[in-house]
Amino acid sequence: MTAIRKTDSTAKNGGNYKGESLQGRVALVTGGSQGIGRAIAIRLAGLGVSVAICGRDKKALDSASAELKKSTGRVWAQTADVSRAADVSELVSRTESELGAISILVNNAGIGLFGPIQEKSETDWEQVLDTNLKSVFLVSRAVVPSMIQQGAGDIVNIGSLAGKNTFAGGGIYCASKWGLRGLSGCMAEDLRGYGIRVSLISPGSVATAFGRGAKDPAKALVAEDVAETVAAVLTQRRQSFLSEIDMRPLRK
């Protein structure tokens, strides 16, 4: 079982804040082979975390795994569809077998299909909702029992400002992210008594392959911005947690 380690948060006379140490912890980052997920995994590895990543593209997973191994020798990469319960069960089991008990879960896997609702199909609806919302339920459900046993843990859900705003053509995507916001809030209340912190990070436009027209870094967030925010959430002292964070680019 992986212990959650702490550092002294202040010096004797109210000195510098040091935050929570992540050294030696085990994290699972879904959708960790590219974009935001990859940046998060790399940031956590740099903080001494053993990192497991999953995705559906083996080539991208292999590339991300090789990069992660430059920061930490303890990496696990597995192809998985996190919208399928059987894949999730195997993913969690293999991760814990290879790295140890998961104490950090970053639910990052997500897709977007855009267009007027009358032009979208039932398959479109199921694909987006299963990936963006159902997967969070499935993976969290699989990981939480171990966190309860450890007496602590962190779950970070990567949402979107589309979870509180609407725009033309965003019906299915917004529905998934509004749902994620509700699920995250309820999970936080369900789990805080067990010492498990649940946070929702909602970025605006991010300059990744997924981003809708967010190609100018001067007018968009980059994946590393989100990764830094995840690190800030995880290094909060244990008596507090950041429940919701909205992220916006400085320039419009």
Contact 34, 64 (CB under 8 A): yes
Catalytic residue among 104, 173, 191, 214: 173
Greatest Cα-to-Cα distance within the chain, rounded to the nearest angstrom: 63
Q: Is 173 a catalytic residue?
A: yes
Q: Please tell me the distance from the alpha carbon of residue 167 to that of residue 152, in angstroms, as a whole number.
A: 38
Other Cβ atoms closer than 10 A to 235:
16
Handedness of CA 134, 140, 143, 144 (dihedral sign): negative
Q: Phi and psi for 200 in degrees, rounded to 5?
A: -120, 120
Burial 21-50 (b: 16+ CB within 10 A, else e): ebeebbbbbbbbbbbbbbbbbbbbbbbebb
Active site residues: 173
